[in-house]
Amino acid sequence: MRYLLVCAFLGIGMFGGSISGTGAALFAAEDSPAAAAEQATPGSPAAADAVTAPVPQPSSQIEGTPRVLAPGVLVTIPPDVQVDETHNRQDIVELVTLDPTFEWAKDCDFRRTVYCLEFRFKLPRLIEVDMPQASGRLQRKPVLYLVYTVTNTGKGLKPVPEADGTYRVEEAAETVRFVPRFTLKILESGKEYPDRPNPLTVAQIRRREDRAIRFFDSTEMNDRQIAVGETYWGVATWEDIDPSLTRFSIFVFGLSNAYRWQDPQGAYKAGDPIGQGRVFSRKCLQLNFWRPGDEFILKENQIRFGIPGQVDYEWVFR
């Protein structure tokens, strides 16, 4: 009964959690192989992961013989799962605020299974696409895009209850539901650009990258069930990017289901809607890039993975 009350009050079922116990100006796109073969910053963690092993091919996306990529073209970010992501302890503020004598609603232990997918990507590239306008005419626009793969390597952790009320953590290899979201952020201005799926853009990217692979945009990839050992190819696209950008980050959501939540002091008051003031943050991959080039002409071969003096990538909650 307590379990049902807690889930009803928190509304966390959608996150897979459980509770137990108490407690342009001008853009220039280039097709040079050198631009496609950019590698991670030497000596960085990602550089060691830029491997040459063949990428598993999902049969549903392969419509021919894919190109053989040169070593270093795909940069690999290994999956990252941490034991502390499988649980957190929180008061159930809706119940404690209602009646402070509800001791069983204080310092509750929330447990959940967490997973993380492997992510591989090419450096961001540019392509010009004729976009239909409201006037009925076509307008040629530069599009920045990121080709990537996601692989379910079976990397996951699952809390298992013991007879004495404690938990042990075991490895868990399960089919993963992938709901991607990509955000590009210009670090100088703080401006953010969401991924904009467009079939016309994806078709042109396919002709350029590999006609034998059907790349999924974020809409087609959405809610994809990825079995252990399975890989999917995808592409994220952005339009109307400020050409003067120098440092930018791409945030990739959906690779991990890890999340954090907190109830700020005083944010919830008796009588408020359930969850009032509650703040969730989700684990995502932050990829950092640097472009040491002209302010008015953005060329894809000027884009470097990593920013001088900073990490190439990191896992963050936002």
For the chain, give every domain's residue range.
Answer: 2-64+74-317
Judge residue 279's burial from the number of C-beta atoms within 10 Å of its C-beta, 0-12 exposed, 13-18 middle, 19 or more buried: exposed
pLDDT value for 265: 86
List the alpha helices (DSSP H) in 88-168.
Answer: 93-98
pLDDT at 53 exceeding the cut of 60: no
pLDDT value for 295: 64
pLDDT value for 50: 40
Q: One-letter amino acid identity for 122?
A: K
pLDDT value for 9: 44
Rounded Cα–Cα distance for residues 125 and 205 (Å): 10
pLDDT value for 11: 47
pLDDT value for 296: 61
pLDDT at 103 exceeding the cut of 70: yes
pLDDT tens per residue across span 240-270:
998 888 999 999 999 999 999 988 888 888 8
Which pLDDT band holds residue 59 (cuts at 50, 70, 90)?
A: low
Helix (H) or strand (E) holding 46, with range, is helix 45-49
pLDDT at 104 exceeding the cut of 70: yes
